[in-house]
Amino acid sequence: DFLNALQEIRPAFGASTDDLERCRVNGMTQCGERHEHIYKRAMLLVEQVKVSKGSPLVTCLLEGPSGSGKSALAATIGIDSDFPYVKIISAETMIGLSEGSKCAQIVKVFEDAYKSQLSIIILDDIERLLEYVPIGPRFSNVISQTLMVLLKRLPPKGKNMLVIGTTSEAGFLESVGIRDAFSVSYHVPTLKTEDAKKVLEQLNVFAEEDVDAAAEALNDMPIKKLYMLIEMAAQGEQGGAADNIYSGQEKIRISHFYDCLQDIVRF
Amino acid sequence: DFLNALQEIRPAFGASTDDLERCRVNGMTQCGERHEHIYKRAMLLVEQVKVSKGSPLVTCLLEGPSGSGKSALAATIGIDSDFPYVKIISAETMIGLSEGSKCAQIVKVFEDAYKSQLSIIILDDIERLLEYVPIGPRFSNVISQTLMVLLKRLPPKGKNMLVIGTTSEAGFLESVGIRDAFSVSYHVPTLKTEDAKKVLEQLNVFAEEDVDAAAEALNDMPIKKLYMLIEMAAQGEQGGAADNIYSGQEKIRISHFYDCLQDIVRF
Amino acid sequence: DFLNALQEIRPAFGASTDDLERCRVNGMTQCGERHEHIYKRAMLLVEQVKVSKGSPLVTCLLEGPSGSGKSALAATIGIDSDFPYVKIISAETMIGLSEGSKCAQIVKVFEDAYKSQLSIIILDDIERLLEYVPIGPRFSNVISQTLMVLLKRLPPKGKNMLVIGTTSEAGFLESVGIRDAFSVSYHVPTLKTEDAKKVLEQLNVFAEEDVDAAAEALNDMPIKKLYMLIEMAAQGEQGGAADNIYSGQEKIRISHFYDCLQDIVRF
Amino acid sequence: DFLNALQEIRPAFGASTDDLERCRVNGMTQCGERHEHIYKRAMLLVEQVKVSKGSPLVTCLLEGPSGSGKSALAATIGIDSDFPYVKIISAETMIGLSEGSKCAQIVKVFEDAYKSQLSIIILDDIERLLEYVPIGPRFSNVISQTLMVLLKRLPPKGKNMLVIGTTSEAGFLESVGIRDAFSVSYHVPTLKTEDAKKVLEQLNVFAEEDVDAAAEALNDMPIKKLYMLIEMAAQGEQGGAADNIYSGQEKIRISHFYDCLQDIVRF
Amino acid sequence: DFLNALQEIRPAFGASTDDLERCRVNGMTQCGERHEHIYKRAMLLVEQVKVSKGSPLVTCLLEGPSGSGKSALAATIGIDSDFPYVKIISAETMIGLSEGSKCAQIVKVFEDAYKSQLSIIILDDIERLLEYVPIGPRFSNVISQTLMVLLKRLPPKGKNMLVIGTTSEAGFLESVGIRDAFSVSYHVPTLKTEDAKKVLEQLNVFAEEDVDAAAEALNDMPIKKLYMLIEMAAQGEQGGAADNIYSGQEKIRISHFYDCLQDIVRF
Amino acid sequence: DFLNALQEIRPAFGASTDDLERCRVNGMTQCGERHEHIYKRAMLLVEQVKVSKGSPLVTCLLEGPSGSGKSALAATIGIDSDFPYVKIISAETMIGLSEGSKCAQIVKVFEDAYKSQLSIIILDDIERLLEYVPIGPRFSNVISQTLMVLLKRLPPKGKNMLVIGTTSEAGFLESVGIRDAFSVSYHVPTLKTEDAKKVLEQLNVFAEEDVDAAAEALNDMPIKKLYMLIEMAAQGEQGGAADNIYSGQEKIRISHFYDCLQDIVRF
Ligand SMILES: Nc1ncnc2c1ncn2[C@@H]1O[C@H](COP(=O)(O)OP(=O)(O)OP(=O)(O)O)[C@@H](O)[C@H]1O
Ligand SMILES: Nc1ncnc2c1ncn2[C@@H]1O[C@H](COP(=O)(O)OP(=O)(O)OP(=O)(O)O)[C@@H](O)[C@H]1O
Ligand SMILES: Nc1ncnc2c1ncn2[C@@H]1O[C@H](COP(=O)(O)OP(=O)(O)OP(=O)(O)O)[C@@H](O)[C@H]1O
Ligand SMILES: Nc1ncnc2c1ncn2[C@@H]1O[C@H](COP(=O)(O)OP(=O)(O)OP(=O)(O)O)[C@@H](O)[C@H]1O
Ligand SMILES: Nc1ncnc2c1ncn2[C@@H]1O[C@H](COP(=O)(O)OP(=O)(O)OP(=O)(O)O)[C@@H](O)[C@H]1O
Ligand SMILES: Nc1ncnc2c1ncn2[C@@H]1O[C@H](COP(=O)(O)OP(=O)(O)OP(=O)(O)O)[C@@H](O)[C@H]1O
Ligand SMILES: [Mg+2]
Ligand SMILES: [Mg+2]
Ligand SMILES: [Mg+2]
Ligand SMILES: [Mg+2]
Ligand SMILES: [Mg+2]
Ligand SMILES: [Mg+2]
């Protein structure tokens, strides 16, 4: 049934740029040194994979809080690598499949990648691939074992591969032994006040005198929630203000911004 | 089998107003500022979804004690939105189905909604959708994972969606990670004495001098149980008094009202 | 498989008076004020269901120790209601069926009832329907979820329904959330000395001077065990005395009655 | 599958005396007052079932340590009852069957019995029927639920039934709720010194001066192990002595008897 | 499926001497009084089974640490009994089979044996038959229940049977209740210094002056590991010395012997 | 299904040198006395198996931290043995297979080996074969039982076999009882400073004055991670330096080496 599942999957060569672009629906703005540092180090790994003879497989984990920009970062590395084969493996395309079918899908992507001289595979939101839930905890050991083997199995001679994983449950990955299966690992952080300020300046939706206060309130916010929050606030108290805000005609009222901050889950 | 299940489901476009109306069988009376505030904020989200370019998916959770009016509120927002696609997903229509079939049903509703420019999906009583029981605790991880992916998956370009969830087990949702998957969250409360008084005045079934005492006794009562209790009390001690009460010819005897209060579960 | 199971069940309209009568094999004697009070309040709910427009579904739980008379009481209410549809759902008719088939049977009874203007459904011994065992504890969550949904799902417009549940495991029902799904709840007690005395006087099997002592010894006895015990004692020490006792020719010897009391489980 | 299993079972009317006789392979000797008392009380229940109109179902549990004589006692009551239908339900005839098939077998025996005016069913070694193991603990809840329902379900009008259960795991039966499902319960004990002496005197295998010492050593021994032990000791130290011992030509040497006592498990 | 499995098994009458001989690949040397005592007592049980009328089934457990000689001892008793039916049940011939098939195989051996007037069945390494693992612990309850019933079920009239079990997990057998299902039980020990010395003298591979030191180092060693260790040491430090050692031309160097002792697992 | 699985596997005779060579993709350099000692002792076992008459089966476990060189060592022993049958059993070739199929594959390799006079089987990464995960812990008991039986089952007369296992979870193997099933066991360590220095000198990628500092920083590093780290560092801070480094034209900058050390997981 696993083997059948394996065969039913359509071959899928080549890079899937569309899927990658969807990972950064709000674009990539400069959001601080720490994000930049990770990008640079990861691009060095891309370089290493390109030229390496001795280490045909390099594996790299991006871990950090929910919404901190891991998927967007991984997608960007994939796009900027210019490798012939770049593929993202995500739970979004496997809703409702059995463990076995998910495994088959994952294995298929690796098998395809092995045919390319240079390849990047992004394992996005590994805890979701593993169907992880903290109660129990429960997760798919079938998929977990498959990943652990794939993260160590060398591609055929002459083929080099980079695997990038993302997760917001580094502790869980640690406890099942998947974290140690990666060779290198980077922590993608939430924004500090100064990072948030940089982003707000680029967005230009606050009155100059409010930017500092707003940035202060955004300390420790993940970049993804920052975008959601600004969009809410831009509506204004009565709705309908967004166009004026984004066109620069109006500014977000700071008190309304504070109100919206309350509604955001878990901040 | 999941895929089969998916295909067997009949397509279901358009808003299902009947289902929504059944959620508020006792109508919508004014029951205090806090309920009103939630309604207004939620209608702002409706507005945001209508005009947004940057956040195609907004997700909102209504949580609060059993009977506090969450489903009626969600249904009202759906009805008042005037969106072309408004659909409620409820355990009532999925009794006895397997986890896989339930997932397929849920996914189907989302796939249908993705075809509409603007859509609202109500996930009613999420703990019941998850077949949650506190002993263990047990719940369907298959459905739980499906919801977590759907709550983050973006609709296709150009389509905007609002998802409203309701639950009386916010702690459980928190512990499986579903609560954090919502962007905003509101607490729907039980009634305070003054809220209950407002409702009683509208119903007009007590003698003027008894309203205060009755409202006092109803402090912390959820709106749904208030309706059940009034109906019991309106029967009178010997039965058959309801018509006279509702037509205003008679009033509920306060001592009988107190008796009925004893029989109500968990108050 | 659930749907198949659903179809295989024969339609079953109308009240099943035979099944109800079997629930009170020892008849209904007067056994104290508390039993009577419950009967009266429950008959008021019957009245409410008959006339109600606003609450089409009323649910009522009878809980109390094993043998205290819950099933007999529920059956009596059903019989005395004169409703066109009265049905008892009991584990006795579902021995050896799978969870799915049991669910289908239960759902079927509700669907049938929805076709009747007025209906009463008795969920007898809910812990047995749920296949509950205290070790673990284990129980069928499939059936548990089904009941929780059915206990809240409104009948179609114009149809009114009363659901009466019985259980001797109120704590368990509480812990899975089923107890809170009922709107009202009554505790059916064991007999106090004065209740037992009333019953003994009706049975007339003791010498007048022994009735008080016997009643005293029966304090806290459930009505069902009282009947079993009297039958044992009526045999006499050598057997064969029952006819003489019940015809009033002889009386039960109090010392033999005490002996029999020892053999009774858990008293 | 349960229903299929039910039909495949051959009808089995009438008493199965052979099976009953196998339960007392060492015959029935007098082994003390306490055993006798139980026998007498149980025969009174047989009497009650014969004449009763009000309690068509009487259930009685024999519990006590392994080997104390429960099965032999139950079989003897069955034989001595002279009821037209007496049947023993034992794990020995159901080795390797699935839970479902076991249930079907058990239900079948009850259904057959319901056709007889008077019937006795022996549920032998209930913990073995339930596939009980203390680790976990684990057991078949399917069979457990079936027994609990069968122990309360009344036979059809005019039919009377006695159910006798045996178990050496009364604590376990208590914890799953099966013990309380029996109306009466008796404890079958191990032998005291004086009981053992009585048995030894009947067997006549010790020298007169050794009987007291041997009986003393046998204090708290179950009757079944006593038989095994005597047989071992009768072999003599070099083997081959049994014939002489049993024919009375020789006596068991008390020192060898003590040696054998050591090898016996758990005494 | 169990019944099918039962029929597919080929009939297997007669003693399987080959299998028994494989259990003592290193032969049977004298290794101390305690081993001898067990052998003698067990042969007395063989005698008892041969002549008994009252106890058609005798069951005996050999328990002790891994490698202490239990299987070899059981095989030897089987061979020396001269019974027409002697059969060993071992996990080695059931690798990869399902619980059900294993049960069927085991039952088959018992059914075959019931046809023989006198039979011996060896249940070798019972914990392995039960698929026992200490974590959990986990084991096959299906097989466990089967064994417990088989260990108590009497052979047909006129047939006598001896069952010998072996295990190195007596504690586990105790905890599931299998240990108590045996009538007698013997502990097979590791070697003491003097036992080891006796074995070494028979092997004659040490210089006379080294025997005592070697025996001392072997205190508490199971006989099976002793053989493995001697074979390793006989290779010599550079390999190739074994022939000279076993032909008596050379002796094992005591220092090399000590080195080998280090590599042995868990000593 | 197990038997089917068994038959579907293609026969696979002869040594699989390619698979073995892949286990040492970085070659075998001298990395300290302790590694060498293990190699020598293991080759003695090879010798013993070649000549033994009394112990047809020798089993040896290599355990130690992740990346310490166990698989490379095992492969090297296999290659250097010159045995006609040498085979590695690894999870890499069994991704996505069911427990049953994995078992069948493993059994097949043993059955094939039994046909060869001399054979070596490598059980690589036993915890991965068992699908072990520390949470729970969970693992395949089916495979675990199979291994425990295979590790004790003797090959047919005249055939000798060496089994080498590798694991980085010795504690887990201990707890399930697999560790004790091996006759001998060796600990494969991480590198000490002096071992690391030896390796660095052979690689010649540091300036002479940096070798000591680098070796110091590498204390306790497993050999496999050392290779990965050197490759990263050889890229240089801007990438593209690897060719110059490996050709000896440039040296690794020690500060960049320290930076890379940070990114390595769990050091
Ligand atoms: N410099 C940046 N780095 C990362 N993301 C950025 C950056 N600038 C803007 N973004 C935007 O921020 C969002 C980051 O969300 P993303 O989904 O990558 O977070 P995540 O950490 O993967 O979240 P989750 O934990 O939910 O998977 C994206 O919409 C992206 O377009
Ligand atoms: N202002 C109001 N807000 C909400 N409900 C109202 C209001 N006024 C009247 N109602 C009535 O109160 C009842 C609220 O019940 P509802 O089912 O919405 O509660 P709930 O919180 O969803 O309960 P549950 O926890 O059982 O799902 C409905 O019958 C509705 O008609
Ligand atoms: N006033 C009464 N109320 C209830 N039962 C009565 C009354 N008078 C007599 N009885 C008899 O007492 C018995 C009560 O048993 P019943 O089965 O109803 O108890 P129960 O509480 O449902 O027991 P269980 O917990 O075992 O389900 C019946 O046989 C009934 O005929
Ligand atoms: N008076 C007696 N009562 C019971 N058994 C007796 C008596 N006299 C002799 N026996 C013999 O003692 C043995 C009792 O064994 P029995 O199998 O009944 O015990 P048990 O309690 O059912 O054991 P287990 O717990 O193993 O099921 C039988 O062989 C029976 O023939
Ligand atoms: N007197 C003896 N008793 C038992 N075994 C002996 C004796 N003399 C030599 N041996 C040899 O010792 C070995 C004992 O191994 P055996 O397999 O019987 O041990 P075991 O206790 O069954 O081990 P395990 O716990 O692994 O099943 C056999 O190879 C046997 O030939
Ligand atoms: N002397 C040596 N011993 C072992 N490995 C060496 C040696 N010299 C170089 N190596 C190289 O070091 C690496 C050791 O990795 P190997 O996969 O054997 O480690 P491992 O302990 O099996 O790791 P894991 O725990 O991940 O299975 C191989 O690439 C091998 O080529
Ligand atoms: Mg992400
Ligand atoms: Mg609701
Ligand atoms: Mg009842
Ligand atoms: Mg018995
Ligand atoms: Mg053995
Ligand atoms: Mg390895």
Interface-testing mutation among F4, F48, F108, F179, with chain E (most E C-beta atoms within 10 A)? F48
Is the ipTM, as predicted for this complex, more than 0.95?
A: no
pLDDT confidence of residue B266? 53
Ligand 8 centroid from CA B127, angstroms: 10
Q: Is F57 helix (H, G, I), strand (E, B) or coil?
A: strand
- Please give the residue of chain D at the shortest CA–CA distance from C263: D184
CA distance E218 to E221: 5
Lowest mean pLDDT among A13-22, C240-249, E4-13: E4-13
Which residues make Cβ contacts (< 8 Å) with residue F249, sequence separation at least 6? none
Ligand 2 centroid from CA B94, angstroms: 21
Question: CB distance from D264 to chain C under 8 Å?
Answer: no
pLDDT confidence of residue B19? 86
Q: Is E185 helix (H, G, I), strand (E, B) or coil?
A: strand
What's the whole-model pTM score? 0.93
Pocket lining: C124 vs ligand 3, CB cutoff 6 Å: no
pLDDT confidence of residue D8? 47
Min distance F238 CA to chain A CA atoms (Å): 7
Question: What is the 3-class SS of B14-51, one letter each residue?
Answer: CCCHHHHHHCCCCCCCCCCHHHHHHHHHHHHHHHHHHH
Mean pLDDT calculated for residue range B208-218: 96
Q: From the CB of residue D48, how many other CB atoms can be counted at a distance below 10 Å?
A: 21
Q: What is the mean pLDDT of chain E?
A: 92
Q: What percent of chain A has pLDDT over 90?
A: 86
With beta carbons under 8 A apart, name residues in chain D contacting C265.
61, 179-180, 182-185
Q: Which of F164, F51, F48 is nearest to E229 (CA)?
A: F48
Lowest mean pLDDT among B158-167, B213-222, F19-28, F175-184: F19-28
Interface-testing mutation among C8, C44, C52, with chain B (most B C-beta atoms within 10 A)? C44
pLDDT band at E10 (very low <50, low <70, confident <90, very high): very low
pLDDT confidence of residue A231? 93
Q: What is the mean pLDDT of chain A?
A: 92
Half-sphere exposure of E190 (CA within 13 A, CB side): 14
Mean pLDDT calculated for residue range B48-63: 92
- Please give the residue of chain B at the shortest CA–CA distance from C134: B135
pLDDT confidence of residue B15? 52
With beta carbons under 8 A apart, name residues in chain D contacting C130.
none
Q: Is the pLDDT of residue A34 over 70?
A: yes
Min distance A266 CA to chain F CA atoms (Å): 28
List pLDDT tens digits, range D73-132: 999 999 999 999 999 999 999 999 999 999 999 999 999 999 999 999 999 999 999 999
With beta carbons under 8 A apart, name residues in chain F contacting A51.
235, 240, 242-243
pLDDT confidence of residue A267? 41
Q: Which ligand is nearest to the Cα of residue A168, counting in written order?
A: 1
Query: Which residue has the least CA distance to atom 4 on ligand 4?
Result: D69
Pocket test for ligand 1, best of A73, A128, A224, A231 (most atoms within 8 A of CB): A224
- Which residue from F43, F104, F153 is facing E92, i.e. has the nearest CB? F153
CB contact under 8 A, E51 and D240: yes
Min distance B132 CA to chain C CA atoms (Å): 8
Lowest mean pLDDT among A15-29, C141-155, E132-146: A15-29
The DSSP output letter for D55 is -
Ligand 7 centroid from CA E3, angstroms: 53
Ligand 4 centroid from CA D125, angstroms: 12
Question: CB distance from C253 to chain D under 8 Å?
Answer: no
Instruction: List phi, psi (to 5°) of E62.
Output: -105, 115
Q: Contact F141/E133 with Cβ under 8 angstroms?
A: yes
pLDDT confidence of residue F12? 45
pLDDT band at A17 (very low <50, low <70, confident <90, very high): confident
CA distance E65 to B267: 62
- Which residues, in sequence order, are bridge partners of residue C88? C122
Min distance D91 CA to chain E CA atoms (Å): 7
Environment class of residue D250 by beta-carbon count within 10 Å: exposed (0-12), middle (13-18) or buried (19+)? middle
Task: From first to last of the 267 residues of chain F, give the pLDDT tens digit.
Answer: 555 554 444 334 445 678 899 899 899 999 999 999 999 999 999 999 998 887 899 999 999 999 999 999 999 999 999 999 999 999 999 999 999 999 999 999 999 999 999 999 999 999 999 999 999 999 999 999 999 999 999 999 899 999 999 999 999 999 999 999 999 999 999 999 999 999 999 999 999 999 999 999 999 999 999 999 999 999 999 998 999 999 999 999 999 999 999 888 654
Ligand 4 centroid from CA D230, angstroms: 15
Mean pLDDT calculated for residue range A136-145: 97
With beta carbons under 8 A apart, name residues in chain B contacting C184.
232, 263-265
pLDDT confidence of residue A11? 39
Q: Which of E65, E92, E35 is nearest to E167 (CA)?
A: E65
Mean pLDDT calculated for residue range B114-119: 96
Q: Is the pLDDT of residue E40 over 90?
A: yes
Min distance B261 CA to chain C CA atoms (Å): 9
- Which residue from F43, F148, F179 is facing E265, i.e. has the nearest CB? F179
Pocket lining: C73 vs ligand 3, CB cutoff 6 Å: yes
With beta carbons under 8 A apart, name residues in chain E contacting F145.
91, 128, 131, 133
CA distance C193 to C145: 40
pLDDT confidence of residue B1? 53
Q: Is the pLDDT of residue C9 over 90?
A: no
pLDDT band at E17 (very low <50, low <70, confident <90, very high): confident
- Please give the residue of chain B at the shortest CA–CA distance from A265: B184
CA distance E102 to E91: 9
Burial of D12-28, coded b for 16+ CB within 10 Å and e otherwise, reads: eeebeeebbebbbebee
Instruction: List phi, psi (to 5°) of B58.
Output: -120, 135
Interface-testing mutation among F203, F259, F265, with chain A (most A C-beta atoms within 10 A)? F265
Q: What angle do CA F123, F129, F131 make, to 5 degrees?
A: 160
Is the preceding omega at residue A156 within 30 degrees of 0, hence cis?
no
With beta carbons under 8 A apart, name residues in chain B contacting A228.
55, 58, 183
Pocket lining: A183 vs ligand 1, CB cutoff 6 Å: no
Q: Is the pLDDT of residue E32 over 60?
A: yes
Interface-testing mutation among A127, A169, A205, A232, with chain B (most B C-beta atoms within 10 A)? A232
Q: Is the pLDDT of residue C10 over 80?
A: no
Ligand 11 centroid from CA E71, angstroms: 4
Ligand 1 centroid from CA A231, angstroms: 15
List pLDDT tens digits, range A151-174: 999 999 899 999 999 999 999 999
Number of inter-chain CB pairs under 8 A, A vs B: 89
Note which residues in 125-144 of chain D have CB less than 8 A from chain E. 128, 131, 133-135, 138
CB contact under 8 A, C55 and B231: yes
Question: CB distance from F82 to chain E under 8 Å?
Answer: no
Interface-testing mutation among D172, D263, D267, with chain E (most E C-beta atoms within 10 A)? D263
Q: What angle do CA C66, C68, C72 make, to 5 degrees?
A: 110
Q: Is the pLDDT of residue E162 over 60?
A: yes
Q: Which residue has the higher pLDDT, B196 or E240?
A: B196
Q: Contact F93/A153 with Cβ under 8 angstroms?
A: no
CB contact under 8 A, A47 and F22: no
Pocket lining: B54 vs ligand 2, CB cutoff 6 Å: no
With beta carbons under 8 A apart, name residues in chain E contacting D98.
2
Q: What percent of chain A has pLDDT over 70?
A: 93
Min distance F94 CA to chain E CA atoms (Å): 17
CB contact under 8 A, A231 and B52: yes
With beta carbons under 8 A apart, name residues in chain E contacting F41.
263
CB contact under 8 A, F176 and E22: no
Q: What percent of chain E has pLDDT over 70?
A: 93
Mean pLDDT calculated for residue range A121-141: 97
CA distance B92 to B86: 17
Pocket lining: B24 vs ligand 2, CB cutoff 6 Å: yes
Question: CB distance from D188 to chain C under 8 Å?
Answer: no
Question: CB distance from E21 to chain F under 8 Å?
Answer: no
Pocket lining: C72 vs ligand 3, CB cutoff 6 Å: yes
